[in-house]
Amino acid sequence: MNASASVSNAGSHAPVGIFDSGLGGLSVLRAVRAQLPGEAILYAADSLYAPYGERDEDFIADRTLAIGEWLVKQGAKALVVACNTATAQSIALVREKLPIPLVGVEPGVKPAALQSKTRVAGVLATQVTLRSARFQALLERYASDCRFLCQPGHGLVQAVERCDVGSDELRALLRGYLQPMLDAGADTLVLGCTHYPFLDAAIRDIVGDRLMLIDTSVAIARQLERVLEQHGLRAPPQGAGSVPPRFYSTGDGTHQQQLAATLLHIDTTVEQVSIPSPRTAAPDSQAA
């Protein structure tokens, strides 16, 4: 949080903002609702500009900041950047600029290094995440006695964005990424993108029990709980599920609604919103 700014939405009744390039952050929302059922949630998906994983650094920082500012204006008391790619590229900048506490996400390299028995672990994440200085530093810290096989998950975010979590094409794509990990003796797979937990059934069909899947969404929810407590921002206890989340999208929201209904069992409407940013005001803004 920007030390010079005060928390503007300090009321503990205020909602928590959760943001992702698209639908992946819904896997984090699921964990946050389980851990903190009394918290109201505003979920913003930047689906118009997803996937971020193939965009440049400035674009990702520009969008992350614009959406963070928009969520602050909607009254968010804290922000979860539920996107590994956006965290890797822009968390420091956004933390500096926003007047509310932030929680970012990162691939679960540490739990993988702690749990792998064969000392070989696969990491599936976006190209941008894998190339980022933040991820490389994480790898350096934990890779001394564990080999990490890093695989960009090209095409996987796009599949989840169109609600494809099990087609033949998707399974073939996944098999191409996972078989080399199995062949190299991996026993652990880091799901380094918040979209990928929605592919767990398809992954399981391919790898069976041979890979332990590391999904950090529960750890993120616990971290959010700690941060809210530190800032005196925890909502007063209420019945589980008593506060329905509110969903926003810069896209048309159809797939968000569908995924929330089929995978999270939340029947909701998604409000389409326009969140301009300096980069998307440019005429070539749709170009990656």
Tokens of 148: 């990490």
Please give the Cα distance from 250 to 50 (Å, whole number): 10
Nearer residue to ligand DGL within complex by CB, 22 or 101: 22
Would residue 163 show up in a list of annotated catalytic residues for this protein? no
Bond before 51 cis per omega within 30 degrees: yes
Query: Residues 16, 17, 31, 51: which binds ligand DGL (CB under 6 A)?
Result: 51
Would residue 146 show up in a list of annotated catalytic residues for this protein? no
Query: Residues 47, 90, 126, 151: which binds ligand DGL (CB under 6 A)?
Result: 126
Least Cβ distance, residue 83 to ligand DGL (angstroms): 4
Tokens 């968010």 map to which residue? Answer: 76
- CA-wise closest residue to 103 among 263, 217, 210, 5: 217
Does position 63 interact with ligand DGL (CB under 6 A)? The reply is: no
Strand order in the sheet with 212-214: 147-152, 120-125, 188-191, 212-214
Residue 154 annotated as binding?
no
Q: What is the total residue count of the chain?
A: 288
Nearer residue to ligand DGL within complex by CB, 63 or 235: 63
Does position 24 interact with ligand DGL (CB under 6 A)? The reply is: yes
What φ, ψ does residue 16 adopt, rounded to 5°? -95, 135
Residue 194 annotated as binding?
yes
Q: Write out the H or E segment, with its range, that includes residue 153.
A: none
Q: Which stretch binds ligand DGL (CB under 6 A): 35-43, 81-89, 248-256, 272-280?
A: 81-89
Residue 9 annotated as binding?
no
Nearer residue to ligand DGL within complex by CB, 218 or 234: 218
Lay out the site mask for ligand DGL across 213-252 (x = CB under 6 A, - = otherwise). Answer: ----------------------------------------
Residue 195 annotated as binding?
yes
Strand order in the sheet with 41-45: 102-103, 78-81, 16-20, 41-45, 246-249, 270-272
DSSP code of 10?
-
Residue 11 annotated as binding?
no
Tokens 């398809």 map to which residue? Answer: 202
Query: Residues 47, 85, 89, 277: which binds ligand DGL (CB under 6 A)?
Result: 85
Does position 53 interact with ligand DGL (CB under 6 A)? The reply is: yes
Indicate the annotated binding residues for substrate.
Answer: 20-21, 52-53, 84-85, 194-195
